[in-house]
Amino acid sequence: MIKIEIVQSEQGFLELEPEWNPLLEASGLGNIFLTWEWVSTWWRHFGRERHKPWVITARDGVDGRLVGLLPLALQTVKLGGLRLRQLAFMGDDRVIDHLDAITMPRYREVIVPFFVECLIGKRTKHDFVRLDAMRSDSGFVRVLLEAIEHGAGAGHMIHDSVCPYLSLPSSWESYWSSLGKQSRYNFTRKAKRLQARADGPVAYRTIDSKTELAGAIRELARLHQARQRQKGNPGAFAQDRAIEFHTELAGHFLEKGWLRLYLLTVAEHAIAAIYCYKFGGKFSFYQSGYDPAWADCSPGALIMLHAVREAINEGVDEFDFLRGTEAYKALWTSAARTDRRLRIASSLPGWLVLRGYQVAYAGLRAIKSNFLGWSHRHVKAAS
């Protein structure tokens, strides 16, 4: 027997802390974005202001153990002139990937249908469900889509997000030799150019103490924003609250041994930074930045190479670049997995907004297809 409850109060959510990470560990998901540290820190900085907890819990009916949860939040949003009650994963307004329902494996087949019923059943009171960055092999997503397709009364759309990753060998020497002669030459040339230009010692620093953490996060934000402004982008650290969020989060991760934050310095002045997490047997690359004044030395590429080397030396199997098809990721790997992005409507206002999403997405695909066709024709004509 399984007991299902939807936790909708802040107090009830906070009381889940002692059980949260042990359940995540037992689930085998190995996803840092589902840890209590990530979710609760997001709640303090972004969640409680505009959201209400909507965490579906499953407990063993005999001993009361927590055996499953789906950490969602409810928010009233305005979309297309309509006010909607929208459900989404806690923290999904940040970049988070590979999400799934958290369940003990032996209870999974029993629990997942209950979770699906809570989302799209006849007694639902929300209008719209947004599930971003769901694992493509998620049993929860499979059962959810099957229920929709078999007449659950909900409309949906789905598309994929590309998530590049690099499989790592057991030694740095193996990786270095796999790069090829030209790539090794280019990295060596960049490092020599940096050394020649530097007016002081060049060093890679690992941030491993709380006393230097806040300053390092500020350096990361400064370097990231400098590069993004050059590209005409707002950047991930444009708001002070984003810096405050990551400063607190990095502190929790440092205590747990999950933080991997590196600075590339010249004469003790940071010219590049990279912010990664080690969890579940892999490195996840979250954010980076470099000083555009040093662009001719490729500090962004050099510090990425340093992070990959650290990952290999720590014995992990994978360097996960997370979602996004940025051109620089293709320089490091051609391997990628996909996460799924779902939009589910369960009311008339929800259906109207879903239709708007479908039209907009089809329009973007048509524009992209026409542009690629135009480019191909003109390149062919020019040749």
Q: What is the CATH number of the domain that holds 347?
A: 3.40.630.30
If you average pLDDT over residues 166-175, what whole number do you get? 98
Q: Is residue 35 part of a domain?
A: yes
Which tops the pLDDT comparison, 382 or 100?
100
In this structure, the answer to whether residues 112 and 244 fall within a common structural domain is no
- Do both 61 and 110 map to the same domain? yes
Please answer whether residues 8 and 54 qualify as being in contact, where contact means their C-beta atoms are separated by less than 8 angstroms.
Answer: yes
Scan for tokens 């974005």, then name that residue. 33
The pLDDT value recorded for residue 267 is 97
Domain extent, residue 35, equals: 2-161+338-369
Q: Tell me if 231 sits within 8 A of 290, measured CB to CB.
A: no
User: Mean pLDDT throughout 232-257?
Assistant: 97
pLDDT score of 154 more than 80 = no
Residues 240 and 145 grouped into a single domain: no
Predicted pLDDT of residue 81 = 81
DSSP state of 197: H
The rounded percent of the chain whose pLDDT value lies above 90 is 82
Strands 128-135, 82-89: pairing is: parallel
Tell me what the mean pLDDT of segment 229-250 comes to.
96
Euclidean distance between CA atoms 136 and 228, whole angstroms: 30
**207 lies in the same domain as 105:** no
Pair of tokens at residue 351: 């259906």
Number of domains in the chain: 2
Please check whether residues 19 and 130 belong to one and the same domain.
Answer: yes
- Report, as an integer, the average pLDDT of 164-177: 98
pLDDT of res. 353: 84
Mean pLDDT of 58-73: 97
Does residue 383 belong to any structural domain of this protein? Answer: no
User: 276 vs 70, 95, 112, 280, 322, CA distance in Å?
Assistant: 25, 13, 31, 13, 11
Helix (H, G, I), strand (E, B) or coil at 124: coil
Token readout for 230 is 């050059």
Is 193 a residue whose pLDDT tops 80?
yes
> Does 128 share its domain with 196?
no
pLDDT (average), residues 354-381:
56
Q: Look at 362 and 46; give whichever has higher pLDDT.
A: 46
Residue 380 has pLDDT above 70, yes or no: no
Please indicate, yes or no, whether residues 311 and 349 belong to a single structural domain of this protein: no
Per-residue pLDDT at 183 exceeds 60 = yes
pLDDT of residue 153: 60
Q: What is the pLDDT of residue 150?
A: 83
On the question of pLDDT at 57 being above 70, the answer is yes
Mean pLDDT of 149-155: 74
29 lies in the same domain as 132: yes
62 and 134 in a single domain? The answer is yes
Q: State residue 365's pLDDT score.
A: 54
Segment 292-321, tens digit of pLDDT: 999 999 999 999 999 999 999 999 999 999
Confidence class for position 371, pLDDT limits 50, 70, 90: very low
SS3 content of the chain, % helix, strand, coil (to 5): 50, 30, 25
8-state DSSP, 8: -
Does 191 reside within a domain?
yes
List strand residue ranges (DSSP E) for 111-250, in order.
128-135, 155-167, 202-206
Residue with tokens 């992990």: 316
What gap in Å lies between CA 245 and CA 98, rounded to an integer?
A: 21
Residues 76, 83 contacting (CB under 8 angstroms): yes
Model confidence band, residue 372 (pLDDT cutoffs 50, 70, 90): very low
| Same-domain status, 29 and 49 | yes
Same domain, 120 and 184: no
pLDDT in the model for residue 382: 40
Average pLDDT of the chain is 92
Summarised one tens digit per residue, pLDDT across range 99-128 is: 999 999 999 999 999 999 999 988 889 999
Helix or strand or coil: residue 259? Answer: strand
pLDDT at 322 > cutoff 90: yes
In a domain, 325, yes or no: no
Mean pLDDT of 155-178: 95
The full length of the chain comes to: 383
Do the domain assignments include residue 376?
A: no
Digit-coded pLDDT (tens) for 12-21: 999 999 999 9
Q: Check whether residue 234 and residue 120 sit in a common domain.
A: no
